[in-house]
Amino acid sequence: MRKPIIAANWKMNKTLLEATSFIEQVKGEVLPKSKVDSVVCPPALFLAQLVELVKNSDLEISAQNMHFEESGAFTGEISPKALEDIGVKYVIIGHSERREMFNETDETVNKKVLAAFNYHLTPIVCVGETLQQYEKGETKRIVGSQVKMAFAGLTEQQVKQAIIAYEPIWAIGTGKSSTAKAANEVCGYIRRVVAEQFSKEAAESIRIQYGGSVKPENIKEFMSEPNIDGALVGGASLEAQSFLQLLEAGCNG
Ligand code: PEP
């Protein structure tokens, strides 16, 4: 049985006060870690403080991005070593907004995934097709190749621990989500790609989230699908009550 994982991607939202107040409201109310991994991905500025705030709770903290080098002349970048050092557990890698606006490629995604494991961070690797690719029927080809490139050079053991977030780009922040059945089919295809690249066991162990306009009203549909193990949620994760509803509807329903 794969444990569900729900992650709140705050993107570039919230002040420090808003971030800490969210955590204070949520941390005593989330479901136990034995049942679901509940992860908050705040802006990098607040990571250290939020890691301290969630200690002894069932919440965990994820970075939204990092560099693949541990140190050096990379002005403005985030070191994976520093993330490990402050107690961050997860890192989102290759979000479509970073691929589209900050020139991330399958190669840099791969370097970052390898670096994440070197620093004991669990990568949440984002893959997904554009609207144009979706309309041309290229979803599986694109997503399959993104997965293969992201995982090149990993061990089977590492792949079993990684998280993939399948996020059709046309569904992110648009209010238009994929149907649960269609998302499940793509996630099933991702498992086949992982089985070919690594092993059947790796494909069965890896957790795959769906992302793209998930909200408390539709999360249950996605979570009921056999190949979907969780959700990466942007807009609907910004309010404490909505995040708690996502956990409740997604994992307790
Ligand atoms: C995301 O940021 O990864 C995302 C899926 O955003 P939204 O839920 O707002 O579509």
- Beta-carbon contacts of 226 under 8 Å, excluding residues fewer than 6 positions away, are 184, 188
Domains of the chain: 5-250 (3.20.20.70)
d(CA 59, CA 33): 8
Q: What is the pLDDT along the chain (253 residues), one digit of tens a residue?
A: 899 999 999 999 999 999 999 999 999 999 999 999 999 999 999 999 999 999 999 999 999 999 999 999 999 999 999 999 999 999 999 999 999 999 999 999 999 999 999 999 999 999 999 999 999 999 999 999 999 999 999 999 999 999 999 999 999 988 887 899 999 999 999 999 999 999 999 999 999 999 999 999 999 999 999 999 999 999 999 999 999 999 999 897 6
Residue 32 corresponds to which tokens in the numbers above? 């136990």
Catalytic residue, chosen from 84, 97, 104, 167, is 167
Q: What is the pLDDT of residue 126?
A: 98
Residue 156 corresponds to which tokens in the numbers above? 């089977």
167 is catalytic: yes
d(CA 224, CA 128): 21
Around Cβ 56, how many Cβ atoms within 10 Å?
5
Does the C-beta of 173 come closer than 6 Å to ligand 1? yes
Q: What is the pLDDT of residue 253?
A: 62
- Beta-carbon contacts of 172 under 8 Å, excluding residues fewer than 6 positions away, are 96, 97, 128, 211, 212, 213, 234
Q: What is the pLDDT of residue 174?
A: 87
d(CA 204, CA 200): 6
Catalytic residue, chosen from 95, 129, 221, 225, is 95
Beta-bridge partners for 93: 125
DSSP state of 236: G
**Ligand 1 atom 6: residue of nearest CA:** 234
